[in-house]
Amino acid sequence: MTMRDQDLSRLDRHIGRLLRVGVSIVVTLLAVGLALDAAGIAASRRVLQCALVILLFIPGSRVVASFIDALRSRDRLLALSTGIVITILVWQWVTG
């Protein structure tokens, strides 16, 4: 393992916080969106769309966070792996 312990724990904290905040926002927006929809308010679609888009990009942002941390800690294998995964994710979302 080339990544130092303090790097790993810092990365752990960043990723954990990122995921928790992201999911909390998504859950709140989904609940609000469904409630608005049930009330017949047209804006609900935008709220649900926004929630799902955030949800879909949480894993992507998580990989990007790992990529940045890998560059900082000079972990070439992790940087290369996350870089390729990001490329595939972007390619898939752009080209379908």
Partner 1 sequence: MIRRRRLIGAVVPELSGIAQRSQEGVVAKPALQSLDAESIYDPTVLVHVLTTVAAGAVAGTLGALLGLGGGVFLVPFLNLAMGLPLPTASGISLVTVIATSSVVSASSRRLRVANLRLGMFLEVFTAFGAALGGTIVYEIAESTRREVFGATLALIALIMIRRLDKRNVIKDPSVDVGVFGGRYHEDESGGEVAYRVKRVPLACIMATLAGVLSTLAGIGGGVIKVPVLNTWCGVPIRVSAATSGLMIGATAMIGAAVYFQHGDVPYELAAGAVLGVLFGSRLGLHFAERSRARHHKIILASVLAAVAMAYFIQAQR
Kindly list the residues in this chain that would bind partner 1 in the complex (CB under 8 A): 1, 3, 8-9, 11-13, 15-16, 19-20, 22-23, 26-27, 30-31, 33-34, 37-40, 42, 44-45, 48-49, 51-53, 55-60, 62-63, 66, 75, 77-78, 81-82, 84-85, 88-89, 91-93, 96
CA separation for the pair 54, 23 (Å, rounded): 9
| CA-to-CA dists, residue 66 to 46, 53, 72, angstroms | 30, 20, 10
Q: How far is the CB of 41 from partner 1 (least distance, A)?
A: 8
> How far apart are alpha carbons 46 and 95 in whole angstroms?
24
